[in-house]
Amino acid sequence: MRILRMLMVVVAASLAAGPVLAQDTLKKIKDSGVITVGHRDASIPFSYYDDKQQPVGYAMDLCMKIVDAVKAELKMPKLEVKYQLVTSANRIPLMGNGTIDLECGSTTNNLERQKQVWFTMTDFVTANRYVFKKSSGIKSLADLKGKTIVSTSGTTNIKQITEINAAQNLGMNIIAANGHPEAFQMVETGRAVAFVMDDILLYSLVSQSRTPADYAISTEALSVEPYGIMVRKDDAAFKKIADAAMTNLFKSGQITPIYEKWFLKPVPPKGINLNVPMSAQFKALLTNPTDSGDPSAYK
């Protein structure tokens, strides 16, 4: 009997800690009167804190369009929006266990992640590259052999560079940082020679640095990275609303002023202009939206 009671406790605990499978997100939102939006603190210009510690950014603006669609679907114009800070490491678990309903950041949609979560329509296409100081003499990936490099914990970037390191026998010492600013600071202070990350995030970090002219970003791309807003896996009803909101945003032309606001104009709080026009891949997405996690869909 004692063993049975212990087993029952273990099973109950595992169920409480486990993921929420095939959850009806719309019912959850309607019953609670709250939709919870996951956001980042330093993924400029996608999702980050402004000088008032409010989450802002390109992905946040897109998510609010989805929130508006949910409000209309549920006929709940006063639906409360709750914000939940997430990290690269915990964003997928927090989606799986029901803590957040949308994840609005700079999250790569790939086939591996689709085993755990779903994504709505791709909202940006970037590439995995690395930033380094020009004085380091780095010219190519081969020049990083035996060097210390850094990437952010829980990202596709650190997974990929680890695989490349093993496959090409580069002998790099790969450090996992807790966030993008921490990783870039390691290059600034010489603790790492290069930081491997999505190029749009690297452009942002270089622009905010004390001496932007000191840095270069690799011309060689290690991969294509399609970004998407994350939703719960196996919840077709909620994803249908999110996809429809995104598709309407793209095909109506409403996406253009939002894109220009965050990529072609000064952004808060420092007024930095990334000056990144829409790529050919992104323009193609506006005509034919997709949620594909296959990189070949974006060439």
222-244 pLDDT, tens digit each: 999 999 999 999 999 999 999 99
Distance CA 84, CA 193 (A): 33
The per-residue pLDDT for 2 is 40
CB atoms within 10 A of CB 87: 17
Domains in the chain, ordered, with CATH? 2-123+228-298 (3.40.190.10), 128-223 (3.40.190.10)
Distance CA 174, CA 148 (A): 6
Amino acid at 9: V
Distance of alpha carbon 196 from alpha carbon 205, whole angstroms: 12
CA distance 181 to 258: 25
Residue showing tokens 């929420």: 20
Structure-block tokens of residue 128: 């995995």
The whole-number average pLDDT for the span 80-102 is 97
* pTM listed for this prediction: 0.85
Q: Is 84 exposed, middle or buried (0-12, 13-18, 19+ CB in 10 A)?
A: middle
| DSSP output for 56-85 | ESHHHHHHHHHHHHHHHHHT-TT-EEEEEE
Question: Which amino acid is it at 216?
Answer: A
Average of per-residue pLDDT values in the chain:
92
* pLDDT one-digit tens code per residue, 168-184: 999 999 999 999 999 99
Element (H, E) at 175: strand 173-177
Is residue 74 pLDDT above 80, yes or no? yes
| CA distance readout (Å), 139 to 34, 116, 130, 133 | 50, 37, 11, 11
**Residue 194, both tokens:** 């290069």
